[in-house]
Amino acid sequence: MGIFFDVLSAINNPNQQGSLTQLESITNSIQQVATSRGIQPSQMQNVMSALGNVLSPVLRQQSTPGGSQLQNLIGQFAGTGTMGASGLESLLSPQLQQQIVQTVSQRSGISPNVIQAALPTLSSAVLGLLNMGATKPGTPGGNSILSTFLDSDRDGNTDLGEVLKFANRFLNP
């Protein structure tokens, strides 16, 4: 649940980009994908958990000391709603996308075709969530949500399925 607390902190911190509107937009886009693809909420939670578990080491490898290059890449795609195939390829090679699709499909029990079709939107939602922790332009500091997500000590606080569950509870009490 650690990353969800970072999300709430970003929403409440005027120096960070996070807002309640962003969180609502992210959860709505995930729910729309689930509804349009016939994915149940509990299955979507599994999809997001699996996607986060696969994306974290991938993004960790792309991270550099200071993390500004990765943060810039995340910021580039975070607000687009959906990355589209070309945007996704600039972040994840086609081979890596296939590995992600297969892994998420195996862990969630959802067809690889469904995961493949949903991957651009879900990836964009993840990047939007990670970008919420970025500081506003001209404000010093790092991205607390991205730092937690990259969690190099792997203490288990980066489960995006849990973030989705708690975000939905927070937004729809």
Per-residue pLDDT tens digits for 64-115: 665 567 777 777 766 555 555 556 666 778 888 899 899 999 988 999 999 9
Decide if pLDDT at 145 tops 80: yes
Residue 170 has pLDDT above 60, yes or no: yes
**Of 123, 128, 154, 161, nearest to 143 (Cα)?**
128
Stronger pLDDT, 80 or 160, i.e. the higher one: 160
Task: Pick the closest to residue 44 from 151, 130, 162 (CA basis).
Answer: 162
Q: Between residues 139 and 14, which one has the greater pLDDT?
A: 14
Structure tokens at 30: 């995930």
CA separation for the pair 10, 58 (Å, rounded) = 24
Let me know: does 152 contact 60? Beta carbons within 8 Å: yes
Per-residue model confidence (pLDDT) at position 150: 83
Query: pLDDT-derived band of residue 1, with 50, 70 and 90 as boundaries?
Result: low
Question: According to the model, what pLDDT value does residue 34 have?
Answer: 93
